[in-house]
Amino acid sequence: MSVKLIMTWDILPNREQEYFEFVVGEFIPEIKLLGIRPVDAWYTMYGQASQIMVTAKADSQAALEVAMASGEWNRLVDNLLDFVDDFSYKIIHARPGFQL
């Protein structure tokens, strides 16, 4: 059964340009190589929610756990943390449509 990885974070002030360059040029392409397929990206304009929410799918819980246990995943998250604050994630069973 496929699973969905839901990640949230806030972009650090004055780091927006470097953040977008990293996410588009490195983070997204490299998580794809790990078998994590990006599905959605949301930007919160108003309210108290996290500024960014990204959802991605993997074929199974086991496949996602292997990817997230890799050195490459850890390096990507460490690099992401140079540009963001309040990074968190959760793994849920994938269903069609929007999920929180």
Confidence label for 98 from pLDDT (cuts 50, 70 and 90): low
| Domain boundaries, given as residue ranges, for the chain | 3-93
Residues 6+ apart with CB under 8 A from 79: 22, 26, 27
Residue 98 token pair:
């929007």
Rounded CA separation 100/96 (Å): 12
Per-residue pLDDT tens digits for 23-66: 999 999 999 999 999 999 999 989 889 999 999 999 999 999 99
Q: Which fold has domain 3-93?
A: Alpha-Beta Plaits (3.30.70)
Rounded CA separation 6/95 (Å): 13
